[in-house]
Structures are given as C-alpha cells and as structure tokens.
Amino acid sequence: MQKYPMYIDGRFVDSASGQWFDSFNPYTGKPWAQVAQGNAEDADRAVKAAHKAFTTGPWPQLTASQRGMLLHRLGDLVARDANKLGELETRDNGKLIAEMQGQLNYVPQWYYYFGGLADKIQGSVIPLDKKGYFNFTRHEPLGVVVAITAWNSPLLLLAWKLAPALAAGCTVVIKPSEFTSVSALEFVKLVEEAGFPPGVVNVVTGFGKDVGPALTGHPLVAKIAFTGSDATGRAINETAAKSFKRVTLELGGKSPNIVFDDAKIDDAVNGAVSGIFAATGQTCIAGSRLLLQESIHDVFLEKLLALAKTARMGDPLSKETQVGPITNMPQYEKVLGYIDIAKKEGAQLMMGGGPATRPECGTGWFVEPTVFSGVNNKMRIAQEEVFGPVLSVIKFKDEEEAVAIANDIRFGLGAGVWTSDIGRAFRMSERIQAGTVWVNTYRAVSYMSPFGGYKDSGIGRESGIDAIHQYLQVKSVWINTGAATGNPFVLR
Ligand code: NAD
C-alpha cells in the first residue's frame, strides 16, 4: 500500500509519532493507502512554518501580481492532472468518477479567478472632513489560515479557501478529512511545482480530534476556514472566539426542493432526483426535503420513483454508475440509523430503506436510494441532516405554507423552487431563508457566485469577489499634512 507523508515547510515528512492510519476505498470497504497520523506536535510545526513564511522569506516580498501568476500556474497544473486527481478522490470517497473528474476540471477556475483578483484589491483615499490630514486605507492579509475540509469534495472545497487566501497574501495549513487525505497530498506537489515558496502551503493529516483543536487554538493562527458538520463548526467557533480568530464556516443543510403545480414536471422530477441521489446524497446542498404541492403530489411521486428505480449502482470508477457507495463506515451506519428513525416516526417507505445487496455493489458500503413520503416537517427525518441518499417528501397546499415549511428549520444552505410563474419565482427567492436559491434548476455552483449559509448552515461566504475580503483586514492610515498638534487632551 502506498504511504502518504504530510507536507510541512516545503518537505514531505513523517508524523512526529511515526504512526500511520489507513485510508479506505468505500467500494471495496478495504484499505488502499496509508496516511501519516499527525498530532498536536505536527500541527504546531506546520503553523510555525506557515507563520515564518508569512513574516519572513520570499512570500511577503512578492507583489500581488506575482502571487496571481503563481496561482495561475497552479490552476494550469491542476488542469493538467485533473483526471489523475479525480480518480484518487473517487478511490478515497467513492463518489462517481464523472462527478469527481468534472469537479477537478472545474477547480482550476478558482485559482485563475482569485489569481486575477490578487492585484485588483485596492484601498481608498478618504475625502476627510478634517483639514490638514491625508487618510487612506490598505487591505492587508490576515496571516496564517487553517483550512479544514470535509470528505465529500476534497479539492473543490480546498480551492474555495486556498485560492482567495493565497491571493490575499496569507499562508495556509491544510487539514483534509481523515477519510480523504490523499488528494491533498498529491495536490501539494503541484503547489511546489508551481513555485510557491516553502511554508506557504502545508498539509497536516490525521484525525480531527488529534490535530483539529491544536490547529484552531494555536496562537499564531489568524483565521479558520472550515467546511464540515455544524457540530464541529460550533466547536471551532467556540475555540476561535477565545482568541478572536476570524472564521468562515460552511456547514450542513436540510434544503427544501419545492415543486409547484405550475412547474414543468419532467424537469422538476430530474431536479428532485439529482438533488438527492447525485453524489449519493453526500452533499451539503442535497435537496433532502422535497416539498410537493398537493394537487401534483401523487403523479409527481410516481414519476420520481420510476426514475429513481432505474439508478445504476456499483463501482464509482465506472462511467456507467449513477449511485455509488457511502464514503465511510460511520456515515454508512448513520444513514441506516436515520432510515430506522424515519420508519419508527411513521414516515411511509416508498422505495429502498436499507443496505444495497445488489451483486454490483460488492463488499462496499452501499445504501439503497430511499424515499419516504407522508413526512411531517416536525419529524427528525425532516429536521436533521442525513448526508446520504434518503429523501423526505412533504405535502403543501399553497405558497404561504411552502414558505412556512421551507423556513421552519435551523438550517439555511440551499433551496430549489420549481415554477413557471416568474412573479412566484421572485417572491419565493426573497422569502426563503437560505444562502442560495435555485429556480428551475438545482445544485449549480460557480467560482463567481457567493456560496454559504443562513442560520446554522454557516458564517461567511466563499467564491465571488467578496470572498477575498474574508482573508484581509483593513488598516486606516492618517498622515498629518499640516494640522496643528494642539490640545493633547481632546480627540482630534
Ligand atoms: P466533520 O465536521 O466531521 O469533519 C470535517 C473536518 O473537520 C474534518 O477534516 C475533520 O477531521 C475535522 N475536525 C473534526 N473534529 C475537529 C475539531 N474538533 N477541530 C477541528 N477540526 C475537526 O464533517 P464531515 O463528516 O467530514 O463532512 C460532512 C459535513 O460537511 C456535512 O454536515 C455537510 O453538510 C458538510 N459540508 C458542508 C459544505 C458547505 O459548503 N456548506 C460542503 C460539504 C460538506
């Protein structure tokens, strides 16, 4: 089995403890690689290397345009190796090769976009109300950023953090998920090849509990950019608050996908199926609550079940496969646990409802695509994130009730609205409490468009121009051009 050491200060190194842990292939349920098992000592080494790179050495000497060019080069290298990186991610997280290679082909855009933005961040000259002073602002990088990612889209979620952080002039310690560390360790070779100085980008691998708090509580860390569960996000936010570290938190969701009776039904059926069964439901923006207007409920459900039942399960490396395995054993058990909860709550099982035992699923961690109808929005299956291929179907009467159900939840990440009425599309997009609303489409993202959560789905936004400001702080500079330095006891 190939061994993957971590990457600190421009060198691949073993962990301080010398221990390794297994990375599993979810399709076989067996280990396929070994990754260095870091601890607090490794976290400390990496943060100190990032801090040294931020304060001394070549990185702070580079102009913003030079940083932008490095990011461009990095984008080119990711594009060159997209197929290889996508395949590694599929081996590690079991998501479809079509999805992972599609993501990797798109990832370079974040490096190009923020590389282009690097030298367009300008302060302003303030036309002060006071004579005899010149006042201007500077946007300065925050410092060392810790980037912590989830397992479902490792290098995509990393690009959302790394590209703006580097464009801003920060240095970074990456902590990938313990379930999918390999692609970050391959990716960092491209960072080196692109010519980034040592210490600017570091990767510490290991279990969240071993290295997470050591990174997020480290006094030399200025900011934490995190994607993961709301429970971990809350713990990180508490730690960060103690030393006033900045945070960006991209957390979970329980997104409503709302279909009105004036929608193009076949399009909406495709949207509902892709909302929950694409990526085997392991996506933060899964449309896991399907809200159907009662007049179309039965016919819609019939069409949805007919389509979902055709989904081909199997090897995620095969281009034919449409639904792959669950990424890891604890998550597999969690998904099955929620299916039991839904059954006990009285939701009506329409398809699936347990482990997939089809021969093409081999020894992997597969769960049958599962649909529950007759779900009440108060049930746990409607309120809690499953992060698997489990859909809850909820009936509504009219627009008012659809809005009430959509918003009656502590999450607010995404929402889908399917309607042919343009006025309704605008009204719904205004009234739904979510960071993203898709109308007559679902699960679209772009490097140009801000992404993030309302309510418990997170703090801050990634992607889009403003994302770079989450890695900068503003300094106001006052120059006395002739004002008298008078009475020292009053505010000037
Ligand atoms: P998780 O919270 O268990 O782990 C995420 C990362 O945090 C991992 O790298 C883990 O090692 C690390 N971690 C764990 N404990 C830590 C601690 N105490 N301190 C610091 N780091 C710690 O989440 P997961 O199971 O890997 O991912 C699934 C979750 O991610 C879902 O809730 C999903 O909705 C969410 N997610 C959100 C987005 C988004 O953009 N909003 C995108 C993808 C996934």
What pLDDT is attached to residue 486?
Answer: 86
d(CA 218, CA 381): 37
d(CA 199, CA 201): 5
Q: Which residues contact 18 (CB under 8 A, 6 or more apart)?
A: none
Task: Tell me whether residue 250 is one of the annotated catalytic residues.
Answer: yes
Going from the Cα of 233 to the center of ligand 1, the distance in angstroms, rounded, reads: 7
d(CA 148, CA 171): 14
Residue with the smallest CA separation from ligand 1 atom 42 is 284
d(CA 454, CA 253): 10
Kindly give the number of the ligand 1 atom that is closest to the alpha carbon of 151: 26
What pLDDT is attached to residue 492?
Answer: 86
- Closest to 2 measured CA to CA, from 30, 26, 32: 32
- Closest to 110 measured CA to CA, from 63, 72, 145, 62: 72
What pLDDT is attached to residue 460?
Answer: 98
Going from the Cα of 317 to the center of ligand 1, the distance in angstroms, rounded, reads: 24
Buried b (16+ CB within 10 A) or exposed e, 278-291: bbbbbbbbbbbbbb
Going from the Cα of 431 to the center of ligand 1, the distance in angstroms, rounded, reads: 28
Contact 155, 458 (CB under 8 A): no
Task: Tell me whether residue 385 is one of the annotated catalytic residues.
Answer: no
Using the structure block, give the residue that is written with the tokens 């030079």: 66
Which tokens sit at 9?
């200060």
Residue with the smallest CA separation from ligand 1 atom 31 is 229
**Residue ranges lining ligand 1, Cβ < 6 Å:** 148-152, 157, 175, 177-178, 208-209, 212-213, 216, 227-229, 232, 235-236, 250-253, 284, 385, 387, 413, 453, 458
Which residue is catalytic, options 250, 368, 385, 462? 250
How does pLDDT run across 159-202, given as a tens digit for each residue?
999 999 999 999 999 999 999 999 999 999 999 999 999 999 99
User: Torsion over CA of 423, 426, 428 and 430, rounded to 10 degrees?
Assistant: -140
d(CA 271, CA 294): 18
398 by Cβ neighbours in 10 Å (0-12 / 13-18 / 19+) ranks as: exposed
Q: Which residues contact 401 (CB under 8 A, 6 or more apart)?
A: none
- Closest to 287 measured CA to CA, from 468, 197, 184, 418: 418
Kindly give the number of the ligand 1 atom that is closest to the alpha carbon of 451: 40
Which tokens sit at 421?
């009425």
How would you write the pLDDT of the chain (492 residues) with one tens digit per residue?
A: 999 999 999 999 999 999 999 999 999 999 999 999 999 999 999 999 999 999 998 999 999 999 999 999 999 999 999 999 999 999 999 999 999 999 999 999 999 999 999 999 999 999 999 999 999 999 999 999 999 999 999 999 999 999 999 999 999 999 999 999 999 999 999 999 999 999 999 999 999 999 999 999 999 999 999 999 999 999 999 999 999 999 999 999 999 999 999 999 999 999 999 999 999 999 999 999 999 999 999 999 999 999 999 999 999 999 999 999 999 999 999 999 999 999 999 999 999 999 998 999 989 999 999 999 999 999 999 999 999 999 999 999 999 999 999 999 999 999 999 999 999 999 999 999 999 999 999 999 999 999 999 999 999 999 999 999 999 999 999 999 998 988 999 998
d(CA 325, CA 5): 27
Contact 154, 203 (CB under 8 A): no
d(CA 478, CA 57): 29
Which residue is catalytic, options 99, 178, 284, 385? 284
d(CA 195, CA 483): 47
What pLDDT is attached to residue 57?
Answer: 87
Out of 93, 149, 152, mutate this one to test ligand 1's pocket (max ligand atoms within 8 Å of CB): namely 152
Out of 99, 218, 284, 410, mutate this one to test ligand 1's pocket (max ligand atoms within 8 Å of CB): namely 284
Domains and CATH numbers, the chain: 2-251+457-476 (3.40.605.10), 256-439 (3.40.309.10)
